[in-house]
Structure 1
Amino acid sequence: MDALVIALTVLLFLAIAVIFRYRDMYARERSSKASLATKHGLTFEQLAPFSKDFPGNPRAFRFIGDPVDGVLFGDDEITFVEFKTGSARTNDRQSRIKKIVEDGRVAWKEIKR
């Protein structure tokens, strides 16, 4: 009877160890995939102005990176640009900036020293 209890206890600990090991491996894999998706998105952001679908002159685009990807300076319009790939969505800060721009609450400041 004691041998059975010891054997079951050992099996239980082994099962728990295997579960934790696979849980950690799964977490690392998910993190790696998320990191790869982020890297692809960042690469796309750098190259997107040079695609045929870009709605302006790539030379007039200035990359910022955060909180929006960049600004496109047209002859009679300035456009804030945010590139999205896959299922990426606009974050809260970007949504607030979009609303500010759409509401016309954008100003020009000149600072002289």
Structure 2
Amino acid sequence: MNPTLLLATVCGALFLLVIALARRIRQLSERLDAADFQQRSLSTTYGRITEQWFPLMDQYPYDPQGFRFLGTPIDGVQFEDDRIVFVEFKTNKSQLSKLQKHYRELVEAGEVYFEEFRFTDNG
């Protein structure tokens, strides 16, 4: 066989192999991304379920009868005889969001108020 033809055939075969490997790598990468997304989604779902039940667990330091679930931007409010506590539940390594940190800073700065609004029926 002609050496030039042999070299061209080998180069062509290697080129096709590289193309096939690149496609396979892209497919595997997409599968890993999908699995990562699914894992994060399951963690989020687990966190949402847990935060709704956490006030009923033994580790919760307050009377669960005084807890009111909000969901967002904080999980809830605990009403005690001598104070009101904004409560955020976290699982594993989850962190406060930027907005939750901001609200915590407002509470720590005393920027929390009670306002009463009255509406009358003009009918």
Distance 2:82 2:111 in 1: 18
Distance 2:28 2:42 in 1: 21
Equivalent residue letter for 1:31: F
Q: Once the two structures are superposed, what CA deviation does each residue of 1:13-68 show, in whole Å capped at 9, x if it has no partner?
A: 10100110110011001001101111110111010000111111111101111111
Structure 1 consecutive aligned stretches of length 4 or more whose deviation exceeds 4 Å? none
Equivalent residue letter for 2:46: H
The aligned residue for residue 12 of structure 1 is 18
Equivalent residue letter for 1:19: I
RMSD over aligned Cα, in angstroms?
0.9
Give unpaired runs (5+ residues) of structure 1: none
Q: What's the % identity of the aligned pairs?
A: 33
Distance 1:60 1:72 in 2: 5
Distance 1:2 1:48 in 2: 68
Give unpaired runs (5+ residues) of structure 2: 1-6
TM-score in terms of structure 2 length: 0.88
Is 2:98 the partner of 1:92?
yes
Secondary structure of the structure 2 residue equivalent to 1:100:
helix
Secondary structure of the structure 2 residue equivalent to 1:53:
coil
Is 2:67 the partner of 1:56?
no
* Equivalent in 60, 64, 68 of residue 74 of structure 2: 68
